[in-house]
Amino acid sequence: MTDAATARRSRLTPERAAELYEAVLDLLREVGYDALTMDAVAARTRSSKATLYRQWGGKAELVARAIRHSKPGRISDVDTGSLRGDFLALVHREDDCAMEQNTALMRGLAMATHTNPDLLQAFREQVIEPEMTELRGMLSRAVDRGEVAPDNPALPFVVHMMIGAFATRALIDEQPPTQDFLSSYIDAVILPALGVPTT
């Protein structure tokens, strides 16, 4: 369902939906997923709980849609004409400060999915699958342009490579991912694995 469809179903304006999503993200940063309640969301946004449940079905879907909404544009909006340009544009959609905050948020949610199967499912449906579809579109344009061979064996692993960079940066290097780090990783790992020259 698109944001516009969500707004139609509930007669929420997109602006109002955006306000609700922002409040959910603020609460997530303050208390984490497990301690977040629909009561708290209702109170902070001056909504009724009935509205929230009718609109989103439950906490898991509300949180997943808030995350989806917080992304800085769609991957499919990025189309620079080269795969390297597309990857670097993705990395530069957020500045380092926003990226550090969002990485912390995503790490907390990834932890919460282990004990909340409904969150895992909503997260897959609302965030992971749409982003993977968009990313596959970006890669398939690179194949169409002849930049990447259609049978390149690294194509199915691009997401694994990317998430690896985010997930291990804190654990191994004790640093948040930054634009510089991710740009180096793209040039050193992802593009060579895909057989794309980096210069």
Nearest CB to a copy of itself, comparing residues 4 and 188: 188
Binding residue (CB under 8 A) for a copy of itself from 44, 71, 107, 136: 107
Helices (H), the chain: 3-10, 14-31, 38-45, 49-56, 59-70, 83-91, 96-113, 117-123, 129-144, 158-173, 179-185, 191-193
Choose, by CB under 8 A, the member of 40, 88, 132, 143 that binds a copy of itself.
132
184 contributes a contact to a copy of itself by CB under 8 A: yes
- Please give the Cα distance from 24 to 138 (Å, whole number): 30
User: Of residues 40, 167, 178, 179, which one binds a copy of itself by CB under 8 A?
Assistant: 167
* Phi and psi, residue 119, nearest 5°: -70, -45
Task: Give the whole-angstrom CA distance, residue 38 versus residue 52.
Answer: 8
Per DSSP, 174 falls in state S
The reply on whether position 50 binds a copy of itself by CB under 8 A is: no
User: Are 158 and 131 contacting, i.e. CB atoms less than 8 angstroms apart?
Assistant: no
| Closer Cβ to a copy of itself, 41 or 190, answer by number | 190
Stretch that binds a copy of itself, among 58-66, 82-90, 110-118, 135-143 (CB under 8 A): 110-118
The CB-of-54 to a copy of itself minimum distance in angstroms stands at 30
We find the least distance from the C-beta atom of residue 164 to a copy of itself, in angstroms, to be 1
Q: Does position 171 bind a copy of itself by CB under 8 A?
A: yes
**b/e 107-138 (16+ beta carbons within 10 angstroms → b):** eebeebbeebeebbebbeebbeebbeeebeeb
User: Does 35 contact a copy of itself by CB under 8 A?
Assistant: no
117 part of the interface to a copy of itself, by CB under 8 A: no
Residue 44: CB atoms within 10 A of its CB come to: 16
Residue with tokens 């004409």: 81
Q: Return the residue matching tokens 């804190």.
A: 170
Position among 161, 178, 179, 183 found at the interface with a copy of itself (CB under 8 A) = 161
Q: Does 14 bind a copy of itself (CB under 8 A)?
A: no
Residues that bind a copy of itself (CB under 8 A): 107-108, 110-111, 113-114, 128, 132, 153-154, 156-157, 159-165, 167-169, 171-172, 184-185, 187-189, 192-193, 195
